[in-house]
């Protein structure tokens, strides 16, 4: 079976160096927020060309801590997308603010034109949480124009898009802050949960550092209502020694698999991703739109030995958690494109351990699809 993520192959690649990390951290006698986390933060900031990186417990917290660092208030409205991991909206709801949903574009990413109309029409919208979904970068030039024109605070959700670029810029550099998830399936996934916040602002970095650690400014001095959202030394050590060194290679591998799919899959019942030339995706997922039923397509692929998934089958706006009367949100459009993705999108395996034979098997299975 060709699986969506191969953690067993990942383990055989990293197990020697990960054992070293375990020994090093064990021998150091320091387990939470120490040298390894600092080193990881420095390594990541250098890699992304940002001034500050702040490790935390997961991607959800990275989003919420960023919003809280930007002083979001319960009555603020936040533009976001209905097609994402639920965590994107959950982070907004947990701050007490109101998510405002617009539709996605034809690649499944938040529609920046609809964002502009929303910002024009409602000055109460002060924040935006755009998502670089599937590893595809949003148009950073347009996003930066919106930010300046409407003075919008932006937290970029880069959970799926570490190292993705639009023109010469990495995602995460337009927003006031950006959130990255280190959840195992992500492009830089650790051996458990983890997250990172990036920012250019020293004061925002300081606030995020305080919020991740009970809102402390010094030991036992609590200035803010914070979180327990720390990255531990062991995860950071493994990231430093075993995972970060492969990130560039693994990203290039994903890109080359994507090229093979884009060239090899030729089926009028399948629509492939189509990005503008400035958009350099890191292919966290390889999303296709199919004609026919998702369930039948999934079964067809399984019959050819290929696992697939849907990202995402239920729009955030339709989740039960949002239907309770005390949850406030707004929907500004008909969400036609988002619904189309929920009903027709399929993700093909694109992890860095796929062999040429397996890639060809996926292509062949797609080309055999009829209904």
Binding site for ligand PLP (CB under 6 A): 58-60, 84-85, 87-88, 131, 157, 159-160, 181, 183, 193, 195
For residue 121, how many other CB atoms are within 10 A of its CB? Answer: 10
Instruction: Report the residue number, 54 or 60, with the smaller CB distance to ligand PLP.
Output: 60
Instruction: Report the residue number, 84 or 251, with the smaller CB distance to ligand PLP.
Output: 84
Instruction: Report the residue number, 62 or 359, with the smaller CB distance to ligand PLP.
Output: 62
User: What SS3 state is found at 339?
Assistant: helix
Residue with tokens 């023109």: 167
Least distance CB 246 / ligand PLP (angstroms): 19
Asked if 72 and 78 count as a contact pair (C-beta separation under 8 A), the reply is yes
The H or E element that residue 271 is part of is strand 270-271
Q: How far is CA 232 from the centre of its chain?
A: 21
CA pair distance 42, 36, nearest whole angstrom? 10
Instruction: Report the residue number, 352 or 365, with the smaller CB distance to ligand PLP.
Output: 352
Least distance CB 107 / ligand PLP (angstroms): 15
The H or E element that residue 195 is part of is strand 195-199
With 0-12 / 13-18 / 19 or more C-beta atoms within 10 angstroms meaning exposed / middle / buried, residue 256 is middle
Q: How far is CA 222 from the centre of its chain?
A: 31
Which residues make Cβ contacts (< 8 Å) with residue 290, sequence separation at least 6?
A: 269, 270, 271, 297, 344, 345, 346, 369
Strands of 270-271's sheet, edge to edge? 270-271, 286-290, 345-348
Least distance CB 316 / ligand PLP (angstroms): 11
Least distance CB 136 / ligand PLP (angstroms): 11
Q: What is the largest CA-CA distance in the chain?
A: 64
Least distance CB 275 / ligand PLP (angstroms): 18
Instruction: Report the residue number, 68 or 300, with the smaller CB distance to ligand PLP.
Output: 68
Instruction: Report the residue number, 83 or 205, with the smaller CB distance to ligand PLP.
Output: 83
The H or E element that residue 216 is part of is strand 216-218
Instruction: Report the residue number, 67 or 366, with the smaller CB distance to ligand PLP.
Output: 67
CB closest to ligand PLP, residue no: 59
Least distance CB 59 / ligand PLP (angstroms): 2
Instruction: Report the residue number, 231 or 348, with the smaller CB distance to ligand PLP.
Output: 231
Least distance CB 217 / ligand PLP (angstroms): 26
Least distance CB 113 / ligand PLP (angstroms): 21
Residue-level length of the chain: 371
């Amino acid at each position: 079976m060709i699986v969506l993520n191969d953690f067993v192959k990942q383990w055989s690649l990293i197990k020697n160096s990960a054992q070293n990390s375990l020994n090093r951290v064990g021998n150091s006698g320091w387990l939470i927020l120490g040298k390894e986390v600092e080193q990881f933060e420095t390594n990541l900031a250098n890699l992304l060309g940002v001034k500050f990186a702040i490790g935390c417990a997961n991607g959800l917290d990275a989003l919420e801590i960023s919003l809280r660092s930007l002083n979001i208030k319960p009555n603020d409205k936040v533009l976001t997308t209905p097609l994402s991991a639920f965590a994107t909206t959950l982070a907004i709801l947990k701050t007490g603010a109101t998510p405002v949903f617009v539709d996605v574009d034809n690649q499944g990413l938040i529609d920046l034109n609809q964002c502009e109309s929303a910002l024009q029409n409602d000055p109460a919208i002060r924040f935006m949480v755009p998502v670089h979904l599937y590893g595809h970068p949003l148009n950073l030039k347009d996003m930066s124009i919106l930010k300046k024109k409407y003075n919008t605070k932006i937290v970029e959700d880069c959970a799926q898009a570490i190292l993705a670029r639009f023109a010469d810029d990495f995602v995460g550099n337009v927003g006031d802050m950006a959130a990255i998830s280190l959840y195992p399936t992500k492009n830089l996934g650790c051996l458990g949960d983890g997250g990172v916040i990036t920012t250019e602002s020293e004061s925002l970095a300081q606030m995020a550092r305080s919020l991740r650690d009970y809102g402390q400014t010094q030991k036992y001095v609590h200035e803010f209502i914070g979180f327990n959202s720390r990255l531990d030394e062991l995860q950071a050590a493994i990231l430093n020694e075993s995972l970060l060194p492969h990130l560039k290679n693994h990203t290039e591998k994903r890109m080359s698999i994507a090229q093979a799919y884009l060239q090899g899959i030729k089926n009028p019942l399948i629509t492939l991703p189509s990005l503008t030339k400035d958009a350099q995706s890191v292919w966290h997922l390889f999303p296709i739109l199919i004609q026919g039923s998702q369930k039948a397509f999934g079964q067809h692929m399984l019959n050819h030995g290929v696992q697939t998934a849907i990202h995402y089958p239920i729009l955030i706006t339709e989740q039960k958690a949002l239907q309770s009367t005390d949850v406030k949100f707004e929907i500004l459009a008909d969400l036609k494109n988002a619904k189309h993705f929920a009903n027709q999108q399929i993700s093909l395996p694109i992890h860095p351990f796929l062999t040429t034979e397996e890639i060809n098997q996926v292509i062949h299975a797609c080309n055999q699809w009829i209904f």
